[in-house]
Amino acid sequence: MTVHAEISIVPLGRHDTSMSKEVAAAFDAIHKIKNLKTKLTALGTQVEAKNLDSVLQAVEAAHEAAKSAGAKRVISTVRIDERLDKAQTLQDKVKSVKRKLKK
């Protein structure tokens, strides 16, 4: 069993359009959670865990970090892929799609 997720936060209440300070704080907080692999991407932080609970801890850590970095409203989109029938790493998933790409 493996759980993959992507966590994307949008902090509101800043006067400008940048989000990198809050996104960095959120990634930092997620990265500190035990038993969780993390990968920073341009559209969110992707995580790999053994159970759903670790993923939900990461969502909470991301919100807390964004609020500590000054956000007065945090809007997040979380996509979770919980698979019971097969253990896969984030890389396994990319490889399994690449193998099927038309040569």
- Contacts with its own copies by CB under 8 A lie at 4-6, 8, 10, 12-17, 19-21, 23-24, 27-28, 39-44, 46, 48, 52-53, 56, 59-60, 63, 67, 72-86, 90-91, 93-94, 96-102
Provide the CB-side half-sphere exposure for 58 (13 A, CA): 36
Measured from the CB atom, the residue of 33 and 93 that comes closer to its own copies is 93
For the bound state, the minimum distance from the C-beta of residue 21 to its own copies, rounded and expressed in Å, comes to 6
Measured from the CB atom, the residue of 34 and 99 that comes closer to its own copies is 99
Name residue, tokens 């892929």. Answer: 81
For the bound state, the minimum distance from the C-beta of residue 82 to its own copies, rounded and expressed in Å, comes to 5
Instruction: Give the burial string for 51-71 (b: 16+ CB within 10 Å, else e).
Output: eeebbebbbebbbebbbebeb
For the bound state, the minimum distance from the C-beta of residue 24 to its own copies, rounded and expressed in Å, comes to 4
Q: How far apart are CA 87 and CA 66, in angstroms?
A: 31
For the bound state, the minimum distance from the C-beta of residue 11 to its own copies, rounded and expressed in Å, comes to 9
Q: How far apart are CA 67 and CA 72, in angstroms?
A: 6
